[in-house]
Amino acid sequence: MRKRAFAILMILALFGSYAAMPQAGSAAPRRPEDVPDTIAPFLSQYFNETQHAAMNSFAAFWQRTPNALFVLGYPISQPFIEESFTNPGEYYRVQYFERAVLEEHPENAGSQYYILGRLMGNQIIRGRENEGPFLPVGDPGDGTFDGATSHTLRDGPAPFRNFWLNNGGLEVFGRPKSEQFQEVNQADGKTYWVQYFERQRMEWHPDEPNPQYQILLGLLGNEYRDAKHRGEGAFQAISPDQVPNPPVQPETQGFVYGFNAILYGQGQPWQDRQRVLALSKNAGVYWIRQQVRWMDLQGAPGSPCYQVCWGELDSIVNDASNTGVKLLISVVAAPSWATPDGRNGMPSRDHFGDFNFFMGKMAERYRGKVQAYEIWNEENLAHENGGRVANASFYMDMLVGASQAIRAADSNAIIVSGAPSSTETNRSDIAVSDITFLRQMFADPRFRASVDVIGAHPGGQSNPPDTMWPDNPGPGPGWTTSREFYFRRLEDVHQAMLDAGLTDKKVWVTEFGWATRNNTPGYGFGNNTSLQEQSDYIVRAFQMGRNDYGSWIGGMFLWQINFAVLWKYQGNELHEQASFGVLNGDWSPRPSYYAIQAMPK
């Protein structure tokens, strides 16, 4: 079946919307030696079937292509540099697969178009233009004629027209470049009805009992190899121990276990920062995420604190560092003087420079003591941005400048993109879908270079972590009929990453957790979850992140450790924030704390 079976619907991932893709331009290498080194991800996946390994970004492209075996086939070469036949005189690193040839396009580095597929249909018919089936025909007047190529697209004898219309049409296959005719398939020596298109060749197998495989696509990578490269070194079979060692990809960290915490307030009756740090370490959790409000640290231009008054943050950073706890600082809440409406959302564009200054100063001051910075929090929510939903392009402009400032001050700091909140609400005064927002961020070619880690906040509500809408919904009552309410929302985040080609990045779940009994409107789902269920769900979520999702999740920060202590002091230990905690208001551990402590890490 490997030679014949093709899943057609998903081939759009390779060839679809070609006209909208970036094309090679004047910056393309003009000599083989000018082709730049491949960029991350640095991967290899060996296939015994063809005795070749998909490598690096080609492997990542294969892995993220649905039904890749049927769409691309197995690799049949190792990467090598070759002159482009669509842009003669330009050279690209390529890798051949049974059904496609993929090119690295360095001019598109950092975008989803770093790997592009060739117009193999056009190439495979070169030199055959004067053969009968490829000669132009007249318009029969029955609606089947394509005037751009002077060929018809019919449903007889083979039902190619219907297949073309139902499986992507022009975007997937291009225009017809021949009429239907009978041709010998070199793979099996049999004769089939075929038709050539700009991007593919269709072949009719009417005797195939499975209708899915009655129309198949061509092994164009194999055919071009046989026509142009037979016997060349890159196509010689290799053994697994001959797979080239890819460059070592920089690691951010091992898997990170973290708590969200309140470390501010030392000297208040309710706070004991050293106790929080000790409890975190005693649980085997050596990272803490602390939210920091920009508005509290930097005054308006001309004020004494315009150069930044760091206040208690200095002692927080020093205490954590001296205790051996690493910090992820999440920065939010611009000063009113830096916002367009005097509220404390994101800064206005003309104050991006002030934000960059602030982030650079912070990274410089805490170099070696703060290990990671998350740029904003749940920026897809209106209430995190002064009552209005920011668009992703605005956020990206802010993120890019802040990232550059941090890296200039501390090249070892890990930069985490702000995690959108899990939601399917789409209203300008409330929120925009987290997946929509992430896809828009990922589409910005600057994203890859600006962050080391992708932040995410999955839902949970009262649903066990293994459940998911619609195939395996939670038990309820309520909060079950949308994917936003589930921990496995992370799988939707991952799919968006795959679609954008961000396989070299990992996710940090910078907030997740389960509320228990509380009295806060809107958080009634917590009343469905017992303390023991909370404990079980948290441990299972950590296990899923570390094991099931371990190839793309690098860290998880539980929401949270000690908020109940503050809320008990304020007279409302049943506040929803308290209910998420692993400590009670009197500092006594909940079952979830003991379970995290006992959990293998």
Q: How far is the C-alpha of 150 from the C-alpha of 147, rounded, in Å?
A: 5
Q: What is the pLDDT of residues 545-564, one digit of tens each?
A: 999 999 899 999 999 999 99
Phi, psi at 446, each rounded to 5°: -85, -15
What does the alpha-carbon distance between residue 118 and residue 132 come to, in Å, rounded to a whole number?
25
pLDDT digits (tens, 9 = 90+) for 221-231: 898 899 889 88
The rounded mean pLDDT for the chain is 89
Average pLDDT over residues 102-125: 80
Chain segment 216-270, per-residue pLDDT in tens: 887 888 988 998 898 899 999 999 989 987 654 444 557 999 999 999 999 999 9
pLDDT given for residue 319 in this prediction:
96
pLDDT of 136-180, one tens digit each? Answer: 999 999 999 999 999 999 999 999 999 888 765 665 577 899 999
The architecture in CATH of the region 256-598 reads Alpha-Beta Barrel (3.20)
Residue 204, pLDDT > 90, answer: yes
Interatomic CA distance for residues 470 and 480, integer angstroms: 9
- Residues in contact with 267: Cβ distance below 8 Å, sequence separation at least 6, in sequence order: none
Q: What percent of the chain has pLDDT over 70?
A: 91
- Radius of gyration, alpha carbons of the chain: 28
Nearest to 170 by CA among 161, 159, 180: 161
Residue range 178-206: mean pLDDT, rounded:
91
Backbone angles phi, psi at 290, to 5 degrees: -115, 125
* pLDDT on residue 14: 31
| The predicted structure's pLDDT at residue 111 | 64
* SS3 readout for 56-115: HHHHHHHHHCCCHHHHCCCECCCCEEEECCCCCCCEEEEEEECCEEEEECHHHCCCCCCE
CA separation for the pair 277, 239 (Å, rounded): 51
The pLDDT tens digits of the residues spanning 321-345 come to 999 999 999 999 999 999 998 899 9
Closest CA to 76 of 186, 246, 225, 243: 225
User: Would you give the end-to-end CA distance of the chain in angstroms?
Assistant: 43
Tell me the β-bridge partners of 508: 455, 555
Q: Which residue has the higher pLDDT, 116 or 363?
A: 363
Buried b (16+ CB within 10 A) or exposed e, 60-99: bbbebbeebbbbbbbbbbbbebbebeeeeebbbbbbbbbb
pLDDT band at 5 (very low <50, low <70, confident <90, very high): very low
d(CA 37, CA 109): 11
> What is the model's pLDDT at position 18?
33
Decide: 281 and 258 in contact? Cβ < 8 Å.
Answer: no
Residues 6+ apart with CB under 8 A from 1: none
- The amino acid that residue 293 corresponds to is R
pLDDT-based confidence at 9, cuts 50/70/90? very low
Secondary structure (3-state) at 415 = strand
* CB proximity list for 449: less than 8 A, separation 6 or greater: 110
Mean pLDDT of 120-140: 92
Q: Which residues pair with 151 in a beta bridge?
A: 146
Domain ranges (residues) in the chain: 9-242, 256-598
Rounded to 5 degrees, φ, ψ at 310 are -80, -25
State what percent of residues in the chain have pLDDT above 90.
Answer: 69
Instruction: Enter the DSSP assignment of 122.
Output: H
Residue 174 pLDDT? 74
Q: pTM of the prediction?
A: 0.64
Q: What pLDDT does 323 receive?
A: 94
Which two tokens mark 252? 């951010």
pLDDT score for 26: 42
Query: Contact at 8 Å (CB) between 469 and 412?
Result: no
Average pLDDT over residues 585-593: 97
Identify the CA nearest to 579 among candidates 512, 488, 513.
513
